[in-house]
């Protein structure tokens, strides 16, 4: 999973291969008990729609606080969880927890907001994946239209047919399907056209340099146009500055997410943040 190590985040392992493997074994060992020991939690990062900055919902992001290892980044453990298939119970836990949380917000009269959940290819390849998703929606009482699954481009090419059929089915139930980290994988535009997705999520690497200099259109602007041509909603991740947000609004990007709006928020703080945001539309509307 070297690719996941390349996201610019400091990895747990250091210099050599032996150390790398040792640390994988240690992570796997502790991860096995993480669910039962209540070491996993979710943070929620707001997503807002443009042009007005209305709160659309949140992306659920997993956090692991190990009593032995401390806080371990998902960039360090998701790949390992995939390799040892622990991602299946962990992924199901994430989905249930996120849907429960959102259904709870709705019951308290907030929203209705959407929830985006990251899904691993290992989960998608399970025969009962679609059933599991629908079962969790029933159990938690969340309407499918408020759930969005985020999948990454690199994974899909492996089993295009099988995955397309499942995603199409879920999409027909009203669930949104977002292609995460778009632009970093290898899929061609013709594949993109065949994929049953509703949303393109432009990778942060295309947002970092915005708005850029000179007269040429930055790639992010072209991606928005291509996405719209294909009838897709386009989201930008990793929006950190006012200038980036202004650019994205100018090119009609539909949704943004990033530190400029808010960092991921602990579950207990979401309500307060949401009420506060509704009062002020911090940063977004006024810029």
Q: Which residues bind ligand C2E (CB under 6 A)?
A: 45, 61-62, 73-75, 78, 91, 94, 118, 120, 150, 180-181, 237-240, 258-259, 264
State the nearest-atom distance from the C-beta of 118 to Mg ion, in Å. Answer: 5
Region from 127-135, 178-186, 222-230, 245-253 binding Mg ion, contact rule CB under 5 A? 178-186
State the nearest-atom distance from the C-beta of 193 to ligand C2E, in Å. Answer: 23
Binds 54, which of ligand C2E, Mg ion, none (CB < 5 to 8 A, cut-off by type)? none
Please tell me whether residue 123 binds Mg ion under the rule CB under 5 A. no
Return the residue of 39, 148, 153, 180 that touches Mg ion, per CB under 5 A: 180
Rg of the chain taking only CA atoms, in angstroms: 19
Please identify, using beta-carbon distances, which residue of 89 and 108 lies nearer to ligand C2E: 89
Please tell me whether residue 148 binds Mg ion under the rule CB under 5 A. no
Please identify, using beta-carbon distances, which residue of 205 and 271 lies nearer to Mg ion: 205
Which residues partner with 59 through β-bridges?
45, 116
Please tell me whether residue 150 binds Mg ion under the rule CB under 5 A. yes
Please tell me whether residue 153 binds Mg ion under the rule CB under 5 A. no
Please identify, using beta-carbon distances, which residue of 83 and 229 lies nearer to ligand C2E: 83
Q: Which residues, other chains included, contact 41 with Cβ-Cβ below 8 Å and sequence gap of 6+?
A: 62, 63, 65, 266, 267
Site for Mg ion in 69-98 (CB under 5 A): none
Please identify, using beta-carbon distances, which residue of 148 and 181 lies nearer to ligand C2E: 181
Beta pairing, strands 70-72 & 54-66: antiparallel
What does the per-residue mask of binding to Mg ion show for 228-257, with x meaning CB under 5 A?
A: ---------x--------------------
Cβ contact 146:114 at 8 Å: yes
Please identify, using beta-carbon distances, which residue of 69 and 223 lies nearer to Mg ion: 223
The residue number with the shortest CB distance to ligand C2E is 258
State the nearest-atom distance from the C-beta of 233 to ligand C2E, in Å. Answer: 16
Distance CA 78, CA 81 (A): 5
Return the residue of 118, 244, 257, 262 that touches Mg ion, per CB under 5 A: 118
Quick one: CA torsion of 111, 286, 208, 249, rounded to 10 degrees? 80
Residue 70 DSSP one-character state: E
On the 0-12 / 13-18 / 19+ scale of CB atoms within 10 A, 10 is exposed
Q: Percent helix, strand and coil across the chain, each rounded to 5?
A: 45, 20, 35
Q: Which residues, other chains included, contact 275 with Cβ-Cβ below 8 Å and sequence gap of 6+?
A: 110
Angle between helices 129-140 and 87-107 in degrees, nearest 10: 30
Please identify, using beta-carbon distances, which residue of 39 and 180 lies nearer to Mg ion: 180
**Residue entry with tokens 């928005």:** 224
Please tell me whether residue 181 binds Mg ion under the rule CB under 5 A. yes
């Amino acid at each position: 999973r070297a690719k996941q190590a390349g996201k610019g985040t400091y990895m747990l392992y250091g210099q050599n291969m032996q150390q790398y493997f040792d640390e994988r074994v240690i992570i796997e060992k502790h991860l096995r008990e993480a669910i039962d020991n209540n070491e996993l939690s979710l943070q929620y990062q707001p997503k807002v729609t443009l042009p007005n900055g209305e709160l659309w919902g949140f992306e659920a992001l997993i956090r692991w606080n190990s009593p032995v290892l401390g806080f371990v980044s998902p960039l360090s453990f998701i790949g390992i969880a995939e390799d040892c298939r622990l991602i299946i119970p962990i992924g199901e836990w994430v989905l249930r927890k996120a849907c429960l949380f959102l259904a709870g917000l709705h019951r308290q009269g907030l929203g209705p907001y959407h929830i985006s959940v990251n899904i691993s290819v290992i989960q998608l390849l399970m025969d009962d994946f679609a059933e599991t998703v629908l079962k969790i929606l029933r159990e938690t009482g969340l309407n499918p239209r408020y759930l969005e699954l985020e999948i990454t481009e690199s994974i899909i090419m492996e089993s295009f047919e099988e995955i397309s059929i499942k995603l199409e089915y879920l999409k027909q139930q009203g669930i949104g399907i977002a292609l995460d980290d778009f632009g970093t994988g290898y899929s061609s535009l013709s594949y993109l056209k065949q994929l049953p997705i509703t949303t393109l999520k432009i990778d942060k690497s295309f947002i970092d340099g915005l708005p850029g200099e000179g007269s040429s259109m930055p790639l992010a602007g072209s991606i928005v146009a291509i996405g719209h041509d294909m009838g897709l909603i386009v989201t930008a991740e990793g929006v950190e500055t006012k200038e980036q947000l202004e650019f994205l609004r100018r090119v009609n990007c539909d949704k943004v997410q990033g530190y400029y709006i808010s960092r991921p928020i602990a579950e207990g703080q979401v309500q307060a943040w949401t009420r506060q945001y509704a009062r002020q539309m911090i940063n977004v509307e006024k810029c």
